[in-house]
Structure 1
């Protein structure tokens, strides 16, 4: 699963279920669910290679230790793979400063 930052959302704010523009979830080798702001109806979209490659890159960026895929596929071909991360974030200021209306000192949106 990965979440997409909403346009205009300051970069110092994290992206979570409450403020994500969309949540992306692969469900099998050839399909993913994209959950976005409510609309009138659900719909189905046939896609092509470019969005699939973008989704694979997003999933790789959001993986922490492992990426799983079907053994007959090579979805990581051409994907920039980050190194294994053993922590979620490093905070340079006190957590309380993130509660300020304009974010922590020196943050840019």
Structure 2
């Protein structure tokens, strides 16, 4: 479980900006990590910047057993995504990377 994320942004001129942000609670869920990255990127308030590279580093890792426990959520869609995530991870580790993912990530058949 991650407790902190660092976002490094490299620009076209070679300069780099780096920001770290602690998660509100330790998490290993993709949605929580993605939201934290987007919030960090939004807080930098780039206006028409020519970005060449985004590097996200997960820091202060802890074993899942040391986590804060399970928090009851009132958002059924989030709960469904969180319960589906370990299943997708096991399918991808067994049959190949990116074989399965959230339905919204795949293009519709034409």
TM-score of Structure 1 vs Structure 2, range by shorter chain:
under 0.3
- TM-score of the superposed pair, with normalisation by structure 2: 0.26
**Structure with greater proportional strand content:** 2
**Larger relative contact order (CA 8 Å, sep ≥ 6):** 2
- TM-score of the superposed pair, with normalisation by structure 1: 0.26
